[in-house]
């Protein structure tokens, strides 16, 4: 089954980084967010990726073209114009890097990679979010419920610490309280291929034009995820994820060996 990763947005809220690189290429622990997402899927045996490129897509292409060289020992024969790699650890991934336009909306990007999705179902997620979603359980849930699509519903942590009050006294600080009972779309979607027929053109939003339509038709299921989830929208988010990585407490990496 293919995994579509939306990696073409402008990432304007993270302009400190995205003036020079696309948002999914912002690094956590020396590797791009995109790589972390792919490692998460690989941990559940998903290894064929379709990356929908847009803004600065050449940066993503160059990263994967140079990937083996970056992590290998090299012998360069300048006279012969040859390069040999030695001790080259690399993931066993197949990656389709597809240009989907600079200004194309999320639905349009999915539509543009339709020819690269031959199976009855495909996975879809965003290039700026990490989680500890059990992807096997998600897929089983999707197939058991028989809807056209299933999204992962999460309750994001507040960006502000909370207080527990007893009258006029503060009794406790809560660093990352949940926002009430509200659920939001956390990505990590599974959809049937016929969902692609609901996308008309480049300006269609996958969220507003596709998911909302599926919900109205009773064809959208929600897989509730209570565990770790973190988007990367601001520099503060980048620092949060980097801190988790640096302290060896990155929850999303629990199923795969952390690269030294």
How confident is the model over 49-74, as a mean pLDDT? 93
Domain assignment present for 203? yes
Residue 78: other Cβ atoms inside 10 A: 7
- pLDDT tens-place string over residues 95-113: 999 999 999 999 999 999 9
- pLDDT tens-place string over residues 69-83: 888 899 999 999 999
Dihedral angle, C-alpha 93, 98, 103, 107, nearest 10 °: -70
Please determine, for residue 255, whether its predicted confidence score (pLDDT) is greater than 90.
no
- The DSSP string of 138-177 is HHHHHHHHT-SEEEEEE-PBPSS-EEEEETTEEEEEESS-
Q: How confident is the model at residue 68 (pLDDT cuts 50, 70, 90)?
A: confident
How confident is the model over 116-129, as a mean pLDDT? 97
CATH number assigned to the domain comprising residue 39: 3.90.550.10
How confident is the model over 121-143, as a mean pLDDT? 97
Q: What is the pLDDT of residue 229?
A: 94
Q: Which residue has the higher pLDDT, 44 or 158?
A: 44
Domain assignment present for 189? yes
Please determine, for residue 179, whether its predicted confidence score (pLDDT) is greater than 60.
no
Q: How confident is the model at residue 140 (pLDDT cuts 50, 70, 90)?
A: very high
Distance CA 257, CA 89 (A): 13
Domain assignment present for 173? no
Q: Could you tell me how many helices (H) and strands (E) the chain has, helices first?
A: 8, 16
What's the number of domains the chain is made of?
1
Domain assignment present for 178? no
Q: What is the pLDDT of residue 259?
A: 45
Please determine, for residue 177, whether its predicted confidence score (pLDDT) is greater than 60.
no
Domain assignment present for 243? yes
Domain assignment present for 177? no
Question: What range defines the domain where residue 61 resides?
Answer: 2-74+84-152+183-253
The CA distances from residue 95 to 43, 46, 121, 144, 216, in Å, are 16, 11, 18, 29, 34
Q: What is the pLDDT of residue 260?
A: 39
Q: What is the pLDDT of residue 178?
A: 57
User: Which of 101-115, 179-193, 227-241 has the highest average model confidence (pLDDT)?
Assistant: 101-115
Distance CA 233, CA 125 (A): 15
Domain assignment present for 59? yes
Please determine, for residue 29, whether its predicted confidence score (pLDDT) is greater than 90.
yes
**Mean pLDDT, the chain, whole residue set:** 89
Domain assignment present for 35? yes
Q: How confident is the model at residue 175 (pLDDT cuts 50, 70, 90)?
A: low
- pLDDT tens-place string over residues 190-223: 999 999 999 999 999 999 999 999 999 999 999 9
Task: State the pTM of this model.
Answer: 0.89
> In a 3-state reduction of DSSP, which class is residue 208?
helix
């Amino acid at each position: 089954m293919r995994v579509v990763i939306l990696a073409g947005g402008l990432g304007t809220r993270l302009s400190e980084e995205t003036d020079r690189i696309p948002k999914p290429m912002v690094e956590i622990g020396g590797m791009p967010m995109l790589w972390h997402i792919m490692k998460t899927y690989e941990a559940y045996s998903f290894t064929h990726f379709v990356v929908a490129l847009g803004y600065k897509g050449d940066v993503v292409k160059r990263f994967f073209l140079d990937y083996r060289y970056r992590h290998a020992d090299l012998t360069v024969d300048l006279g012969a114009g040859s390069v040999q790699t030695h001790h080259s650890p690399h993931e066993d991934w197949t990656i389709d890097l597809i240009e989907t336009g600079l200004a194309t909306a999320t639905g349009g990007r999915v539509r543009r990679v339709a020819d690269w999705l031959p199976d009855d179902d495909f996975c879809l997620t965003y290039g700026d979010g990490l989680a500890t979603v059990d992807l096997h359980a998600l897929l089983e849930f999707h197939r058991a419920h028989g809807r056209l699509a299933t999204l992962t519903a999460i309750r994001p942590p507040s960006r502000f610490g909370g207080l527990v009050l007893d009258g006029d006294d503060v009794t406790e600080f809560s660093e990352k309280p949940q926002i009430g009972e509200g659920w939001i779309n956390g990505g990590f979607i599974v959809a049937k291929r016929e969902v692609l027929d609901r996308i008309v053109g480049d300006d269609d939003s996958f969220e507003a034009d596709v998911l909302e339509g599926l919900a109205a038709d009773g064809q959208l299921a929600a897989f509730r995820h209570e565990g770790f989830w973190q988007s990367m929208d601001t520099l503060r988010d980048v620092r949060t994820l980097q801190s988790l990585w640096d302290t060896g407490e990155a929850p999303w990496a629990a199923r795969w060996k952390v690269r030294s």
